[in-house]
Structure 1
């Protein structure tokens, strides 16, 4: 229970860090506008998490190519809630928006089966991917 609570609290802190505008205060009484602001923040938060996960996977691939041994236990402790690289008040270029990204390859050549064998079964289906 504590681990799940910690993950939720980490996500909420990360989400607040990403959606820093107006100090997190909803400045409109219109419920539709409030819902839009919350959904935009959730979308932005999830996009940054996805980008962080892509960056982490790319670094792991580079290390594997350099013949580093990657311990799945170490990877299990890496969080995608990284904020140090986010330039909240920086300059952003949008002229590249028309570019198509390269196809994403989700495969990492790391054996996670030792981690799965040690995990106790989740109660009532919790923790299973949908």
Structure 2
């Protein structure tokens, strides 16, 4: 690692400055060549980092709980995007890395748009409940998930005639009566 540190830092600076794309970097480092000094340095640094993280994970129960929560959130999102990507069971059809990257970005954009819309709808429903005097329990709100599927019509007809009209301002704060929270 010591002899390749300069190369490692040079690659890091190139990525930070944007002179090397992630696709190019992965293509160059993915050849598993024993002669590729940069690959070997990255591999050894990765091994050292993984060892440190594993030791921290084993010795810290709070870290294990935090990682489990984050993993569950990520898996819920991945399951949701796989469900949204219904054609071909989520498999990417092209072997071209740029087309794959476009497909993944489009799927993320679509999923995030649907999650945002669902969150806005849930926030409006909670506001209506509070305005009607119904108790809104914080534990119930914490258990809500924006990864709902019942409000998404994957095969539905969508009107795109009004897409050019920007939406009005939206207040994202959820203000509930003090006794409700």
- CA contact 1:19–1:45 (8 Å) conserved in 2: no
CA RMSD of aligned residues (A): 1.8
C-alpha contact (below 8 Å) 1:72/1:111 kept by paired residues? no
Alpha-carbon deviation of 1:52? 0.8
Which residue does 1:7 correspond to in 2?
73
* Unmatched 5+ stretches in structure 2: 1-66
Deviates more, 1:16-25 or 1:79-88: 16-25
TM-score of the two chains, using structure 2 as the length reference: 0.58
Report the secondary structure of 1:49's partner residue: helix
Q: Which protein shows a greater Rg?
A: 2
**2:142 match:** 76
- Quick one: higher RCO (CA 8 Å, sep 6+), 1 or 2? 1
Structure 1: gaps spanning 5 or more residues: 116-130
Does the aligned pair in 2 maintain the 1:10–1:81 contact within 8 Å? yes
1:30 lines up with 2:99 in the alignment: no
2:110 matched to which residue of 1?
44
Matches of 1:4 and 1:91 in 2, distance apart? Answer: 35
Distance in structure 1 (CA, Å) of the matches to 2:76 and 2:134: 29
TM-score normalised by the chain length of structure 1 = 0.79
Contact 2:118–2:148 under 8 Å retained in 1: yes
Q: Of Structure 1 and Structure 2, which has the larger fraction of its residues in helix?
A: 2
Q: What is the aligned residue count?
A: 113
Q: Structure 1 residue 21 and structure 2 residue 78: aligned?
A: no
